[in-house]
Structure formats: structure tokens, C-alpha cells
Amino acid sequence: MGDLIRQNPDGTYTRLASMPTTPASADPSSLSEVLTKDVTFNPTNNTWVRIYLPKKALVDNSSTTTNKLPLIVYYHGGGFYFTTVATTLNHNFCDTMSTQLDAVVVSVEYRMAPENRLPAAYDDAMEALDWIKSTDEIWLREYADISNCFLIGTSAGGNILHRVGVRASAAVEELAPLKIRGLIFHHPFFGGVTRTESEIRGVNDPVIPQVSTDLCWELGLPIGADRDHKYSNPMADDQWSVNCARIKNLGWRLLVAGGDRDPVFDRQMMFVEMLKKDGVNVISHFIQGNPHGVEITEPSTAPALFVSIKKFINNDM
């Protein structure tokens, strides 16, 4: 990732590599099983969402509460500083997710670091929830059951999900009628000053080598913060137990998915164990041999993940 961005002499940044993107398409005559559209929720910050609607919902005329589809709000990865909702890898993942989970998916475009360091992405992710609860966007009003909402985040998006979960758990009444049922962490990206065994083993990992993960934190964290800041290391948050107690009392269920070839694996395991210690209802889904974000980069591996997520959503795990 280090070759993807360069700091200019004037302090601005240039992203050196571009990734393929896919436009939204709401054409019902297309071959896709899912329709998509982009909707801006904050013009000032240029933040927006891409909504994924299974085409079958139009045929089923799912306009009654009992027929409405679950709502998935998704936060994409990219180290806080690259890839977008429209990046083809992210788009395809959400497209498949909408089909496999038979759900309306809202993928959130948040502001990028280092131009907008954390907590900007957390603010945008939370603002998207506030927009969802009150928008008149027809695809959400007619086809999504916003009282049956799950939040999913991949990699840096999983990190964002953690902070959004903390905030949302303290703002349940303000978010109504949006009702969150669970949080799904997909290869969540955490860090810390002291290297873990999996980080040491993965120093030259082909997906996220240590030099790249360090760069993500250098660009993403508030200036002057180290990797033991609560944004990077959730276990360093002095409000951890308070936050866990609130999530536990809400009855939220959590799923943490990953693989043991991920350099962040040890931190994900510690995250799960700490949640369990504080009584949070959390299920782990770690697959031996899986590297970081494999379901994004190797789409053929994604269906197995979605089977587990569907069981989780249906409370069948």
C-alpha cells in the first residue's frame, strides 16, 4: 500500500494508483440480479451511499412490513485512505452480499485520510445511519425493514464499525425507527504499539505487510497519536467495559470473521476474548489458511462467508 500514496511538498497527497470502478445501474432490464443507485447524504462533505436492491423485491412488491427485506449497512475497507464504494472489488462484494443475504445493502462512502483523519470516517458512518432513519429514498422506505438492521465492516471498515457501534449503542432512541440487531466484523483492522505474534509472522505479508499497516495508522490516526490510541487499539479504550455493558444490555449480537493468515489475527482474537469476558454475545468465525480480506480479493471464497452471515442474521448460529 506504500506505493499507493505520496505526500507532496505542499503537504497535499497524491494517490498514485487507481483501481477499477463500477458505476451504479438501476436499469431493471439489466442482467444483474441487483439494482443499484448512488444517493448523496452530505453534499458539503461529498459523502454518499450506494444502495443495492435485489431485483426480486420489485417482483414480490415487498411493500408491507412483513415482506420487507433486512437492511445491511456496509463500511468498506482500504486502510482509511484508498478505495471507494464504487471500487469494483467493493461493489462486487456488496452485489453478491445483497443477492446471497436477500437484503437491501447500503454501502457508505466516507471521507478519506489523511485529508480527513479519524474520527472523520466515524462521523460520516454515523451520519449515514441518521440519514437512513429519516430519508424518503423510495428503495429504503418501500423495500427495507429498517427495524431489522445489521452493520457490517471489512478491514478498516470493521474498525469504523467498532466505533460506530459504540456511538450507536448510546444513541438508540435518536436513531429510531432504525433498529440495529447486530454487528458483523469482517477481518477488522486493529493495531497496537507492541507487536503481536501474528504481526511479527506477517511482517512481509503479501496483502498487508507491516510497512503498509503502519502507514495506514500514520495517515489515519489523529496527528501525534500512536497505535495504542483507542481508535487503533479498542482494548486501550478506558470506556471499554462501559461500552460492552451497554451493548450487552441492548441484546446486540456480534460476529467476528477472519482467517489465521491475517497479520491482524491475534488482535481479532483478543477482541473476541475481551468481548466474551465482558459478557457480550459474540460468535467467532475464523477459517484456517485465510488471509486478510480474502472474500473481497477472491470472490469465489465469499459464498461460504455469506452462508455464515445469513445464519447469524437469522439467529441460527
Quick one: cell of 291?
A: 488471509
Neighbours of 181 (CB within 10 A): 18
Indicate the residue type of 172: V
Q: Find, among 78, 63, 76, the residue nearest to 128 by Cα.
A: 76
Q: Looking at 170-301, list the stretches that DSSP marks H as alpha helix, in order from N- to C-terminal side.
A: 172-175, 197-201, 210-220, 240-250, 265-277, 294-297
- Per the rule left: phi > 0, alpha: psi between -120 and 50, beta: everything else, 233 is beta
The catalytic residue positions are: 155, 262, 292
Q: Say how far apart CA 143 and CA 103 lie, in whole Å.
A: 9
User: Considering Cα of 50, then 56, then 61, then 63, what sign does the dihedral take?
Assistant: negative
Q: Say how far apart CA 313 and CA 309 lie, in whole Å.
A: 6
Residues in the chain: 317
Sort strands 47-54 and 104-109 into parallel, antiparallel or unpaired: antiparallel
Indicate the residue type of 305: L
